[in-house]
Amino acid sequence: MAAKVLHAFYTDDDILMNAVKKVRDKKYSIEEVYCPFPVHGLDKAMGLQHTKLAITSFLYGCVGLAVALTMMNFIMIVDWPQNIGGKPSFSLMENLPAFIPTAFEMTVFFAAHLMVITFYMRSKLWPFKEAENPDVRTTDDHFLMEVNVGANDIQEVAEFLHSTGAVEIDLKKEVKHD
């Protein structure tokens, strides 16, 4: 979907935070904010929802634990039982203390690797993907806030953004967001 978007540039993170709050109070739509470093509290100021990645991490860990216990039960109890040090190999529960380190490592392994894959898929970071940064200055010393103009007057929104501390305002007529 293409829309008219204003790019407002800021030189300080505190000014940016105050500007985001003012823009949200004015009910303008903030498309995205680009920063050269993480700005703590910006997600809350923008009104972004909490991520559900922690839930998926827990579920991936549970899958890893289930795979580990199933694998160890099959290998050590069913397929190739061995009498090691006089310990019986009749069931998984009798030998569970010996399997705890392996079960823990498989849990962490599955959670970590599947979370990386999930993060890349969720943020659409594919190999050889070109950067979507609208201005190279946002990787050095500037902060950029994309504000959707919508049905509002462009000049009015630009003046409001300038009053929030923006040092430069550019109009981008066709900005496409998925």
Are residues 65 and 114 both part of a single domain? yes
Are residues 65 and 100 both part of a single domain? yes
State the residue range of the domain holding 103.
53-122
Are residues 64 and 110 both part of a single domain? yes
Are residues 60 and 117 both part of a single domain? yes
Average pLDDT over the chain, rounded to an integer: 88
Residue 131 located in a structural domain: no
User: Which amino acid makes up residue 31?
Assistant: E
> How does strand 29-34 pair with strand 168-176?
unpaired
Are residues 63 and 98 both part of a single domain? yes
Are residues 64 and 116 both part of a single domain? yes
How far apart are the C-alpha atoms of 43 and 40, rounded to whole Å?
8
Are residues 32 and 57 both part of a single domain? no
Are residues 111 and 58 both part of a single domain? yes
Q: Residue 15's domain is classified under what CATH number?
A: 3.30.70.260
Are residues 31 and 57 both part of a single domain? no
3-state per-residue secondary structure call for the chain: CEEEEEEEEECCHHHHHHHHHHHHHCCCEEEEEECCCCCCCHHHHHCCCCCCHHHHHHHHHHHHHHHHHHHHHHHHHHHCCCCECCECCCCCCCCHHHHHHHHHHHHHHHHHHHHHHHHHHHCCCCCCCCCCCCCHHHHCCCEEEEEECCCCCHHHHHHHHHHCCCCEEEEEEEEECC
Gyration radius of the chain over CA positions: 26
Number of structural domains found in the chain: 2
- pLDDT (tens digit, 9 = 90+) per residue, 129-173? 888 888 889 989 999 999 998 888 889 999 999 999 999 999 886
Residue 67 located in a structural domain: yes
Residue percentage of the chain with pLDDT more than 70 = 93
Q: Work out the pLDDT band at 76, boundaries 50, 70, 90.
A: confident
| Backbone phi, psi, residue 14, to 5° | -70, -40
Which tops the pLDDT comparison, 112 or 79?
Answer: 112
Which tops the pLDDT comparison, 118 or 90?
Answer: 118
Are residues 11 and 71 both part of a single domain? no
**CA quadruple 52, 20, 30, 127: dihedral, nearest 10:** -50
Residue 47 located in a structural domain: no
